[in-house]
Every structure is written in C-alpha cells, then in structure tokens.
C-alpha cells in the first residue's frame, strides 16, 4: 500500500515508528531530507515486508510504498544481514545469530516453551560451537611455560567470555525473555532428592545468592583479587569452604532459562554446516587479530615494557605480552580446542612494524 508522508506522520498505526524530529523537519521545510528518507525506510523495514520512497508528482503526493506487516518485527541483525541497515557488528555474531534463530524456531515448533542451560551449552546445542571441544579438555601441559596452569585458566576465562557475548547478542536480537538462575550441586545435602537423571542439584534463593556474592567480594578485597584466574589458593579455599559449609555444596554454576513463547517459529532453509564453518573461521580470525593487538599494543600505542631492565609485570597475561609468546600460546590452545592452525601473517607484519619502532626509540636514547 502507498502511504503519503502526511498519513505516515498522523496515522495511529505508525505512531510508535515515527520519530518526532522527522515530523518537525517536514513541518518546517515541507519536504524530507535524503538521510531522513533512508532512516524512515530502515525503521519501516523492521515492521513491514518492504518499504520504498515514492516521489511526488503533479497528481500524487510523495510518500512510501509499504509491504505487508510482519508477524514479528525484524531484528537489527536480520536487517544487517539483508543489507537494510549498516553496522560494524562483528560478522561472526551475525553468523551465530542465523544459527540460533533457526534453533529457537525449531524448539518453538516442537512445543518447547522454556528450557534452561548454561550459556556455552546453549551455543553448542544451537550448532554454533558444536565443533569446539569442551574447555575442560584443555590441560596445563598443552603449552610449555612456567605459568601454564594460570595461563590455561586465563585462556578458558577469556574464550568463555567472548562466547557468552555471542549468546547474549543472539538472545537480545531475538527478544527472547531470559532469566539467570544460580544452581548448586547437592551431593552432600541429604535433604535434597535426586532428579530423573540421578543428579542432586537445586536453584539458589535470592538471599543465598546475595550472601554468596557478598562473601566473594569480601574475599576478593581481602586477597586483592582482580581476576579469578590469578587468585591465590587461599582465596579459592576460603570460598569453597563457605560454599560447602553454608550451601552444603562443592560446586556452583549459572544457567539461563529462555522463554520461547514469543519466538517466531518460521524455520529458514539454511546450510547449517556451512554456517558453522563460517562462524569458526570468522571467530578465529577476529580472535587472532585481537591476540596480535594485545601482545604489541596498549591503548593503541606500542608496548615497550620488554625494553626495560626491570619488567613491568610477572603476572599472566602481561608477562606473556612482554616475552612475546602471548599470540603463540593463545593460538596453540585455539588449535587444541578445534580452531585449526594459526595464520601468522598479521602477527609477522605487526612484529616487523614494532621492531622498526623499537630501533627508532633506541636511536633516540643513543643520540
């Protein structure tokens, strides 16, 4: 259907779509600027199958040709994928979104209303990370470094953080209602019955969660803990003792419950195997570029700590930055997980630039 600009700005159907500044611009100038037309088309495309600006003629006023109304509004990710909207969102997130969208639609079509899993398990079940090994499969002997146990903890935490961000992006783009639940293992609690799988676990109450977090923060301050992978043994022991004594448990973890009641159950015919390969390749490239930047730069300036007689840090991962083996270790662990061998081209190019800069710095001191 065709809608004139006046109708678009006054009809109740478009009230929540139209920005007041567009109306003011039209009222003041009697026409719309090119950027405004594009913005209106983009906004209409979230709710209608198509949107196109139609120039006015002597017989007809200017307006927009609009397609059928969508049953579910289009997400920003869909709009980017369909070239309706431009964005700098990492491509691997958009690829993951396509897989998660189809997975959610399948669950909805199967009658699933709610389901609960850890964030990493959600990604695996959706076929996004099913080619990646379990993080617990990575052992301290995988790299040859005197800090290997701590570095392994750092790697697992860093990779998990990035993967969880992928899950969060998918859920937010699909507007899936979600709830974070804290679980504890109840193997030592005689008052808790085992479930159908023989597992004894329960959800923590809000009061228990608040007290646990308060205790953890107290211990973080006591032992000056900034990162859990660098935490001293005393911190871990005291926190474990608290969990065992107060919650009668030896393990806590977080799961996310997703509500699929408002999810579109339309399943798109896509090559999931190919999309998963694309995700693995895109995610790997993104991470490797990040490794290079971390090793050689800090706040967009070159790291020069390795030139100092006294090293700036002995902690993970800063020592690895300084000793120039950070990229090597991270990509070796990536290979163990399932991302394949590293591409060293960007690293070697950056290293060459760095070494030239170091020579220039040394010449200044000599002069």
DSSP tag of 4: E
How confident is the model over 300-315, as pLDDT tens digits? Answer: 899 887 666 555 567 8
Considering the chain, what percentage of its residues have pLDDT values greater than 70?
Answer: 97
Query: Are the beta carbons of 32 and 5 closer than 8 angstroms?
Result: yes
Which is nearest to 333 in space by CA: 78, 159, 79?
Answer: 159
Question: Which pair of structure tokens corresponds to residue 222?
Answer: 């006591």
The pTM of this model reads: 0.86
Strands (E), the chain: 2-4, 51-54, 63-66, 114-117, 177-185, 201-203, 252-259, 297-298, 301-302
DSSP tag of 254: E
How confident is the model over 259-277, as pLDDT tens digits? Answer: 999 898 888 888 999 999 9
How confident is the model over 128-176, as pLDDT tens digits? Answer: 999 999 988 788 777 887 778 899 999 999 999 999 999 999 999 999 9
Which is nearest to 229 in space by CA: 172, 282, 153, 141?
Answer: 153
Q: Which long-range contacts (CB under 8 A, 24 or more apart) does 35-38 make?
A: none
């Amino acid at each position: 259907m065709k809608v004139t600009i006046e109708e678009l700005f006054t009809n109740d159907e478009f009230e929540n779509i139209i920005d007041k500044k567009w109306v003011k611009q039209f009222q003041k100038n009697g026409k719309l600027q090119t950027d405004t037309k594009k913005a209106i088309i983009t906004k209409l495309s979230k709710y209608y199958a198509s949107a196109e600006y139609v120039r006015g003629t002597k017989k007809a006023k200017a307006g927009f040709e609009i397609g059928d109304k969508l049953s579910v509004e289009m997400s920003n990710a869909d709009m980017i994928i369909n070239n309706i909207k431009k964005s700098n969102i990492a491509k691997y997130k958009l690829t993951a979104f396509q897989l998660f969208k189809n997975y959610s639609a399948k669950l909805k079509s199967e009658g699933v209303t709610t389901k609960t899993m850890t964030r990493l398990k959600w990604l695996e079940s959706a076929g996004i990370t099913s080619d990646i090994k379990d993080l617990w499969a990575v052992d301290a002997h995988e790299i040859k470094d005197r800090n290997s146990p701590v570095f392994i903890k750092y790697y697992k935490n860093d990779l998990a953080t990035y993967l969880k961000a992928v899950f969060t992006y998918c859920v937010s783009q699909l507007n899936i209602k979600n709830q974070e639940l804290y679980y504890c293992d109840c193997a030592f609690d005689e008052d808790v019955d085992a479930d159908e799988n023989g597992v004894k676990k329960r959800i923590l109450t809000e009061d228990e969660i608040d007290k646990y977090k308060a205790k953890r923060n107290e211990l973080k301050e006591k032992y000056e803990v900034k990162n859990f992978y660098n935490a001293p043994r005393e911190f871990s022991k005291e926190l474990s003792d608290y969990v065992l004594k107060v919650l009668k448990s030896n393990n806590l973890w977080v799961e996310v419950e997703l509500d699929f009641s408002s999810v579109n159950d339309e399943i798109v015919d896509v090559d999931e195997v190919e999309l998963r390969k694309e995700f693995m390749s895109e995610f790997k490239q993104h991470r490797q570029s990040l490794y290079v930047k971390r090793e050689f730069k800090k706040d967009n300036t070159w790291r020069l700590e390795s030139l100092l007689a006294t090293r700036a840090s002995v902690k993970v991962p800063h020592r690895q930055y300084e000793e120039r083996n950070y990229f090597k270790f991270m990509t070796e662990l990536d290979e163990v997980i399932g991302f394949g061998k590293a591409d060293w081209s960007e690293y070697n190019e950056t290293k060459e630039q760095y070494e030239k800069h170091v020579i220039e710095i040394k010449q200044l001191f000599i002069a």
